[in-house]
Structure 1
Amino acid sequence: MARTQGSRAEITGPLIRDAARHLFARHGYAAVSMRQIASAVGVQVGTIYGYTPDKQALLFDLLDSHMQIVLAGWQDDPDQPPLLRLEHFVRNHIAYSLDHQEAVFLAYMELRNLTPEHHARIAAQRRRYEDALEDILRAGQQAGVMHVPDTRLATLALIGMLTGVTNWYRDGGRLDRDRLIGIYWDLARGAVGA
């Protein structure tokens, strides 16, 4: 298949992904067509198929690469005190979420649109990330510095609270990022009874 004149793989591929991410986040996966993505990039719709077999594969690729970045970016040191580990998790999660709001939104809202096979793969990656936080909470309980009745539920509640910041926070608002993250750290610490 011929590429649109003037398009280059190292430029066009990322542009397609960026346009798809933006359009899926703004309008929802089901409402976006490949034609809309092509129009946003400024290429013919057939050009997109040189980069992805279909819209489902494009969505999966976006969610998979997001989770790979999240997992690669999370570094935990089990030798550190549990509260320090939790603080690092909170700060890392919010900073990443604010810097990648559309990717985070897709990872939560469009998971339902994946095929069962793709869904299982992304869910397994998410579980690895959740397990990292749950390990911290268990260590905190064992050390007697955290008190939660159910570590799994606390894990999901904390991630939901931390991710929720992307729904309302905007740079230039009442709180700067450092103050925001400090407040969320206080909330997280309170949530685990520390």
Structure 2
Amino acid sequence: MARKIGSHSEITGPRIRGAALRLFARHGYAAVSMRKIAAEVGVQAGALYLYTTDKQALLFDLMQDHMTDLLAALHALPPQPDPASKLEQFARFHIGYHVERPEAVFIAYMELRNLTPENFATIESLRRKYEDRLQAILIEGVACGVFTSPDTKMATLALISMLTGVTSWYREGGRLARADVQTLYADMALRAVAKMQG
């Protein structure tokens, strides 16, 4: 992506990205023009093109950065000794990471349809890498006899959907603290795939 060379590039670039993130999340990608982004930043519309090629590039950059940062944070988690511990860690991580970034999460899921086919393929590849991490935990758990699932891929998508849904209603300072929500959802995730005893 083309970025302005000069003393203002480090200031204007993040401001443009921040404005695009807020506006895309609030109004939707299709309803936001480059002129509106420029007004939010406080620059002339033409100045945006010193930083980015077009609105599509801005959307793609926001989505790609969200996914690559998510994957990096996931890979940085400390190793766990067994599938149940790994699933609990994944659930807690997913909720903790996503509730801090509701705008990025909204865009990452709701604006996929507005990506070009090439950009969509790149983002989908990153999403699959994240899903594969959870599916590997479920496959290991089934192999060890602690989880049961007739279709680990479907279970993976269902669990991610459940965990991501927290961002649509959770607010800091509400009835439940974040740690409480993480504990409850981690327990639900474990119960969803736990092998029945007896």
The alignment's TM-score, normalised by the length of structure 1, stands at 0.94
Q: Is the 8 A contact 1:130 1:156 kept in 2?
A: yes
Q: Is the 8 A contact 2:102 2:167 kept in 1?
A: yes
Deviation at 1:148, TM superposition (A): 1.3
The DSSP-based 3-state class of the residue aligned with 2:53 is coil
Structure-2 residue corresponding to 1:40: 40
Q: Is the 8 A contact 1:29 1:110 kept in 2?
A: yes
Counterpart-to-counterpart distance in 1, 2:183 and 2:74: 19
The DSSP-based 3-state class of the residue aligned with 1:80 is coil
Aligned partner letter, 2:129:
R
Q: Is the 8 A contact 2:80 2:86 kept in 1?
A: no
Q: Is the 8 A contact 1:91 1:185 kept in 2?
A: yes
Aligned partner letter, 1:63:
M
Counterpart-to-counterpart distance in 2, 1:30 and 1:110: 9
Q: Is the 8 A contact 2:88 2:187 kept in 1?
A: no
Structure-2 residue corresponding to 1:27: 27
Deviation at 1:191, TM superposition (A): 1.1
Counterpart-to-counterpart distance in 1, 2:132 and 2:79: 13
Deviation at 1:78, TM superposition (A): 6.8
Match runs of 1:1-194 below 5 Å = 8-75=8-75, 80-193=81-194
Counterpart-to-counterpart distance in 2, 1:104 and 1:61: 14
Deviation at 1:79, TM superposition (A): 6.5
What's the CA shift string for 1:149-174, capped at 9, x where partnerless?
11000000000000000101111110
Identity %: 59
Counterpart-to-counterpart distance in 2, 1:96 and 1:146: 25
Aligned partner letter, 1:124:
S
Counterpart-to-counterpart distance in 1, 2:42 and 2:148: 54
Aligned length: 189
Deviation at 1:77, TM superposition (A): 6.5
Aligned partner letter, 2:104:
A
Distance 1:82 1:181, change over 3 A: same
Q: Is the 8 A contact 2:142 2:148 kept in 1?
A: yes
Aligned partner letter, 2:59:
L
Q: Is the 8 A contact 2:138 2:152 kept in 1?
A: yes
Counterpart-to-counterpart distance in 1, 2:194 and 2:150: 10
Deviation at 1:33, TM superposition (A): 0.5
Counterpart-to-counterpart distance in 1, 2:111 and 2:123: 11
What's the CA shift string for 1:119-161, capped at 9, x where partnerless?
0000000000000100000000011111111100000000000
Q: Is the 8 A contact 1:63 1:103 kept in 2?
A: yes
